[in-house]
């Protein structure tokens, strides 16, 4: 959830670390800090404070060529100067940055009663333990290994120490990557931190400890050197910048046609229109699967709900969708015939990883569907599908929602084909719709001014209801999630038929209702619910297929014709609606309060 960066080399470390911190702010932004080895002999200097990276006061120049930095998303202790990382020991000899949660920190603090603690964080036990262990060996790597042996929970750690011209880092259930540069080496929780300096990266695995110096990187597992191959990252730092848009979110909404073309180009043969997902799950296994379980959180959960309808109708396979934090591998099913897919943009969501691990422990085959190559989920599952939407920086997931659905549609077509369930006309139609999705979304994007005008008209309302049926239901849930997370307005999504069973009591002239009236969302039934809310005075904004809802809606926005993928096009209007409403309200759209992009705690 937090961001770690570090540099050791033959040039100025401070500017490189601070630049990395700005890039990592999407991972956490309630405090920031830097620790540097300054002067000769080196002295440890720590600069840290609550607030954003821009609030951090650091020297304008520094001779340090080695240091570590951190942006924090609080888990233990409030966002204060004292709780900001890096943390140090009593002698201020060691500085530590940490992502994750040290579950046994209370117990460890008990063992350190002679030490004076200055923060409420779980992290601070680490430098104090290092102080003890280092006095035994005077070897920083050995000290880090002894300390990590005592930690329970999850961690990515970056450590520096006076008299030691290296960074030592370690990972367990929290991502950490080493960047190999020309003028030195980097550590980071995410390659975004150093992509403007180098695209060569090696990912650490759980249990690894790496010793990083200006001209060498050595990774150890169980005390022995191991090889962690260097991967060349294809996308560049530019892709992670705003490209002239005011916010990443709007840029990423507009990137959807491109992202979807990437998905299709990677997985669909242009000549014979066959699907190749580059997975190893063998056909016999898929043929005999009794059930597919999709586990996910937030937007990824909504994408999974959308896909469920297609798996059930097209591939004729029982499919369930579970909120990952609620998941249990229930009895009554044969684990060897149950495929559990963790759907996660970041590949780092703790709840999803935990659900997948539990299903694997019960004997199920596991699959990861993720946007992050090299992320933790890809190491936890039996097989993975990479959705290739490019980096998503805005906290609100947008292009990854549509790319996840497109990827799951391809998986559904593959499963249906293998199982001999694919009605060829039906399959061809869906694949054709998928191929037309980028241009249909482009049409919606070209009509942005229309939805912006609607957002302006309803700016003063503070509660919005979203309704839809079938595939319109996950889109109504997603539309409401988007609006609440970035505008802070109250927004709820309901299956349209459920309104009359309770939520209708909340409907007044001041609660606009947004209705999904597209193909794939049973518009004829939902029109009845539209009438119910209109009878209570609520204005209705309808996202409607051609010929639907004419003359009955306060605002009618037509969705290009695209069969079962129409709700997905309608969703683009809902993303833009949320964006413009939040923008008019002056909200910090890319970094909404209390939220972080990657939720690596349970
Ligand atoms: O990285 P993941 O897809 O696993 O993330 C799951 C949710 O945390 C995420 O979708 C969240 O709901 C977004 N902020 C929604 O915009």
352 pocket-lining for ligand 1 (C-beta < 6 Å): yes
Three-state SS sequence of 353-391: HHHHHHHHHCCCEEEEEECCCCCHHHHHCCEEEECCCCC
Q: Whose CA is nearest to atom 8 of ligand 1?
A: 298
Q: Which of 206, 239, 272 is the last residue of a domain?
A: 239
Asked whether residue 71 is assigned to any structural domain, the reply reads yes
Q: How far is the C-alpha of 366 from the C-alpha of 368, rounded, in Å?
A: 7
Paired sense of beta strands 43-50 and 31-38, if any:
antiparallel
Give me ligand 1 centre to Cα 452, in Å.
Answer: 25
What is the Cα 115 distance to its own chain's centre?
Answer: 37
Q: Name the residue of 304, 324, 349, 487 to mutate for ligand 1: max ligand atoms within 8 A of Cβ.
A: 349
Active site residue 597: yes
486 pocket-lining for ligand 1 (C-beta < 6 Å): no
Could you read off the pLDDT of 580-595 as tens digits, one per residue?
Answer: 999 999 999 999 999 9
Q: Whose CA is nearest to atom 4 of ligand 1?
A: 344
Q: Do 181 and 295 belong to one domain?
A: no
Q: Which of 187, 212, 239 is the last residue of a domain?
A: 239
Q: Which atom of ligand 1 is nearest to the CA of 349?
A: 4
Give me ligand 1 centre to Cα 346, in Å.
Answer: 8
Burial of residue 399 (CB within 10 Å: 0-12, 13-18, 19+) is buried
Q: How far is the C-alpha of 136 from the C-alpha of 525, rounded, in Å?
A: 74
Give me ligand 1 centre to Cα 294, in Å.
Answer: 15
For the domain that residue 288 is a member of, what is the CATH number? 3.40.50.10490
Q: How far is the C-alpha of 455 from the C-alpha of 463, rounded, in Å?
A: 13
> Residue 344: which pLDDT band, with cuts at 50, 70 and 90?
very high
Q: Do 564 and 440 belong to one domain?
A: no
Q: How far is the C-alpha of 270 from the C-alpha of 180, rounded, in Å?
A: 37
Q: Taking Cα atoms as reference points, which of 486, 479, 551 lies closest to residue 512?
A: 479
Asked whether residue 590 is assigned to any structural domain, the reply reads no
Asked whether residue 592 is assigned to any structural domain, the reply reads no
Q: Do 396 and 503 belong to one domain?
A: no
Q: How far is the C-alpha of 278 from the C-alpha of 270, rounded, in Å?
A: 16
304 pocket-lining for ligand 1 (C-beta < 6 Å): no
CA distances from 443 to 54, 244, 251, 450, 520 (A): 38, 21, 16, 12, 19
Q: Under a CB-based contact definition with an 8 Å cutoff, are residues 102 and 47 in contact?
A: no
Could you read off the pLDDT of 239-262 as tens digits, one per residue?
Answer: 656 666 889 999 999 999 988 988
Q: Do 27 and 130 belong to one domain?
A: yes
For the domain that residue 51 is a member of, what is the CATH number? 3.60.20.10
299 pocket-lining for ligand 1 (C-beta < 6 Å): yes
Q: How far is the C-alpha of 44 from the C-alpha of 94, rounded, in Å?
A: 8
Q: How far is the C-alpha of 557 from the C-alpha of 452, rounded, in Å?
A: 12
Q: What is the pLDDT of residue 585?
A: 96
* Strand ranges, E, within 404-544: 463-468, 490-495, 513-517, 540-544
Higher pLDDT, 393 or 185: 185
Q: Name the residue of 303, 345, 474, 483 to mutate for ligand 1: max ligand atoms within 8 A of Cβ.
A: 345
> Residue 29: which pLDDT band, with cuts at 50, 70 and 90?
low
Could you read off the pLDDT of 276-292 as tens digits, one per residue?
Answer: 888 999 999 999 999 99
CA distances from 165 to 93, 130, 270, 435 (A): 13, 16, 53, 54
Contacts of 388 (CB under 8 A, 6+ apart): 259, 262, 263, 266, 371, 403
Give me ligand 1 centre to Cα 387, in Å.
Answer: 15
Q: Is residue 531 classed as helix, strand or coil in its secondary structure? A: helix
User: Would the pLDDT of 373 be above 80?
Assistant: no
520 phi and psi, to 5 degrees? 80, 5
Print the domain residue range for 420: 248-445
395 pocket-lining for ligand 1 (C-beta < 6 Å): yes
Q: Do 186 and 258 belong to one domain?
A: no
Q: How far is the C-alpha of 252 from the C-alpha of 299, rounded, in Å?
A: 15
Q: How far is the C-alpha of 553 from the C-alpha of 454, rounded, in Å?
A: 13
Letter string b/e over residues 182-210, b meaning 16 or more CB atoms within 10 A of that residue's CB: eebbbbbbbbbbbbbbbbbbbbbeeebbb
242 phi and psi, to 5 degrees? -80, -10
The percent of residues in the chain predicted with pLDDT above 90, rounded, is: 78
Q: Under a CB-based contact definition with an 8 Å cutoff, are residues 539 and 532 in contact?
A: no
> Highest mean pLDDT: which of 24-38, 240-254, 299-313?
299-313
Helix pair 472-487, 566-584: axis angle to 10 deg: 10
Asked whether residue 600 is assigned to any structural domain, the reply reads no
Q: Do 426 and 472 belong to one domain?
A: no
Q: Whose CA is nearest to atom 16 of ligand 1?
A: 396
> Residue 596: which pLDDT band, with cuts at 50, 70 and 90?
confident
Q: Under a CB-based contact definition with an 8 Å cutoff, are residues 388 and 235 in contact?
A: no
Letter string b/e over residues 39-77, b meaning 16 or more CB atoms within 10 A of that residue's CB: eeebebbbbbbbebbeebebeeebebbbbbbbbbbbbbb
Give me ligand 1 centre to Cα 28, in Å.
Answer: 14
Give me ligand 1 centre to Cα 597, in Å.
Answer: 7
Could you read off the pLDDT of 397-456 as tens digits, one per residue?
Answer: 999 999 999 999 999 999 999 999 887 788 889 999 999 999 999 999 999 999 999 999
Q: Which atom of ligand 1 is nearest to the CA of 370?
A: 3
Q: Do 266 and 351 belong to one domain?
A: yes
Asked whether residue 602 is assigned to any structural domain, the reply reads no
Q: Do 85 and 20 belong to one domain?
A: yes
Q: How far is the C-alpha of 17 from the C-alpha of 6, rounded, in Å?
A: 6
Q: Which of 217, 239, 261 is the last residue of a domain?
A: 239
User: Would the pLDDT of 237 be above 70?
Assistant: no
Q: Select which of 2, 66, 297, 412 is catalytic.
A: 2
Torsion sign across C-alpha atoms 186, 190, 191, 193? negative
Q: Do 458 and 439 belong to one domain?
A: no
Give me ligand 1 centre to Cα 310, in Å.
Answer: 22
Mean pLDDT throughout 355-383? 92
409 pocket-lining for ligand 1 (C-beta < 6 Å): no
Active site residue 16: no
The CA-based angle 139-144-146, given to 5 degrees, is 95
Query: CA 358, 360, 366, 369: dihedral to nearest 10 degrees?
Result: 30
Q: What is the pLDDT of residue 275?
A: 87
**Is cis: bond before 582, omega within 30 of 0?**
no
Asked whether residue 514 is assigned to any structural domain, the reply reads yes
Q: What is the pLDDT of residue 27?
A: 66
Asked whether residue 589 is assigned to any structural domain, the reply reads no
Q: Is residue 9 classed as helix, strand or coil in its secondary structure? A: strand
Mean pLDDT throughout 163-191? 93
Other C-beta atoms lying within 10 Å of the C-beta of residue 587: 20
Q: Do 425 and 355 belong to one domain?
A: yes
Q: What is the pLDDT of residue 424?
A: 76
Q: Whose CA is nearest to atom 12 of ligand 1?
A: 298
Domain count, the chain: 3
Q: How far is the C-alpha of 230 from the C-alpha of 180, rounded, in Å?
A: 8
Q: Name the residue of 1, 296, 297, 368 to mutate for ligand 1: max ligand atoms within 8 A of Cβ.
A: 297
The CA-based angle 332-333-336, given to 5 degrees, is 150
Q: Name the residue of 397, 402, 589 to mutate for ligand 1: max ligand atoms within 8 A of Cβ.
A: 397
Q: Do 431 and 454 belong to one domain?
A: no
> Residue 517: which pLDDT band, with cuts at 50, 70 and 90?
very high
Q: Is residue 244 classed as helix, strand or coil in its secondary structure? A: coil
Q: Taking Cα atoms as reference points, which of 422, 162, 196 lies closest to residue 287?
A: 422
Q: How far is the C-alpha of 319 from the C-alpha of 338, rounded, in Å?
A: 10
Q: Do 93 and 217 belong to one domain?
A: yes
CA distances from 440 to 128, 190, 292, 419 (A): 58, 33, 30, 30
Q: How many helices (H) and strands (E) does the chain have?
A: 16, 25
346 pocket-lining for ligand 1 (C-beta < 6 Å): yes
Give me ligand 1 centre to Cα 48, in Å.
Answer: 29
Q: Under a CB-based contact definition with an 8 Å cutoff, are residues 180 and 202 in contact?
A: yes
Question: What average pLDDT does the structure give for the chain?
Answer: 93
pTM for the complete prediction? 0.78
Asked whether residue 336 is assigned to any structural domain, the reply reads yes
């Amino acid at each position: 959830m937090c961001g770690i960066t570090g540099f050791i080399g033959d040039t100025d470390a401070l500017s490189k670390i601070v630049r990395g911190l700005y890039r990592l702010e999407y991972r956490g932004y309630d405090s920031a800090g830097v620790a540097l080895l300054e002067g000769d002999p080196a002295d440890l200097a720590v600069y840290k404070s609550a607030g954003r990276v821009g609030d951090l006061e650091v020297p304008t120049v520094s001779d340090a060529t080695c240091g570590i930095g951190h942006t924090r998303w609080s888990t233990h202790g409030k966002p204060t100067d004292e709780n900001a990382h890096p943390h140090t020991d009593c002698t201020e000899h060691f500085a530590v940055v940490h992502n994750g949660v040290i579950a046994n920190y209370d117990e460890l603090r008990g063992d350190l009663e002679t030490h004076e603690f200055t923060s409420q964080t779980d992290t601070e036990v680490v430098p104090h333990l290092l102080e003890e262990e280092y006095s035994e060996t005077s070897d920083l790597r050995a000290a880090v290994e002894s300390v990590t042996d005592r930690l329970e929970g999850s961690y990515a750690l970056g450590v520096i120490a006076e008299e030691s011209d290296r960074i030592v880092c370690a990972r367990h259930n929290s991502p950490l990557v080493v960047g190999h540069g020309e003028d030195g080496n980097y550590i980071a929780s995410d390659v975004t931190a150093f992509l403007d300096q180098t695209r060569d990266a090696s990912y650490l695995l759980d249990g690894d400890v790496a010793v990083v110096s200006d001209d060498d990187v050595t990774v150890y597992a169980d005390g022995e050197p191991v090889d962690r191959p260097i991967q060349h990252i294809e996308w560049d730092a530019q892709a992670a910048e705003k490209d002239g848009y005011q916010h990443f979110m709007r840029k990423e909404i507009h990137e959807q046609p491109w992202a979807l073309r990437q998905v299709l180009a990677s997985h669909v043969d242009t000549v014979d229109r066959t699907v190749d997902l580059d997975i190893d799950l063998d056909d016999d296994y898929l043929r005999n699967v009794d059930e597919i379980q999709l586990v996910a959180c937030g937007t990824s959960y909504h994408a999974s709900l959308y896909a469920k309808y297609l798996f059930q109708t097209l591939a004729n396979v029982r499919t369930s969708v579970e909120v990952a934090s609620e998941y249990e591998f229930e009895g009554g099913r044969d684990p060897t015939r149950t495929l559990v897919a963790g759907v996660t943009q970041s590949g780092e969501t703790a709840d999803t990883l935990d659900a997948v691990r539990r299903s694997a422990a019960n004997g199920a085959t596991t699959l990861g569907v993720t946007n992050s190559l090299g992320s933790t989920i890809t190491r936890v599952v039996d097989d993975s599908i990479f959705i290739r939407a490019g980096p998503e920086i805005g906290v609100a997931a947008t292009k990854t929602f549509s790319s996840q659905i497109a990827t799951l549609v391809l998986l559904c077509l593959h499963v249906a084909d293998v199982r001999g369930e694919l009605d060829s006309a039906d399959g061809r139609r869906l694949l054709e719709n998928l191929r037309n999705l980028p241009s249909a979304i482009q049409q919606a994007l070209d009509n942005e001014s229309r939805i912006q005008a609607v957002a302006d008209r309803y700016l003063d309302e503070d509660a919005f209801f979203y309704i839809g049926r079938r595939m319109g239901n996950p889109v109504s849930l997603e539309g409401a999630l988007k609006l609440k997370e970035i505008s802070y307005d109250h927004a709820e999504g309901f299956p349209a038929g459920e309104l009359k069973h309770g939520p209708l009591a909340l409907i007044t002239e001041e609660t606009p209702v947004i209705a999904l009236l597209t193909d794939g969302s049973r518009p004829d039934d939902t029109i009845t619910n539209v009438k119910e809310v209109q009878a209570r005075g609520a204005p209705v904004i309808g996202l409607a297929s051609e010929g639907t809802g004419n003359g009955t809606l306060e605002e009618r926005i037509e969705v290009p014709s695209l069969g079962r993928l129409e709700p997905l096009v309608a969703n683009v209007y809902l993303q833009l609606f949320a964006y413009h409403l939040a923008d008019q309200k002056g909200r910090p759209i890319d970094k909404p309060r209390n939220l972080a992009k990657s939720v690596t705690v349970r």
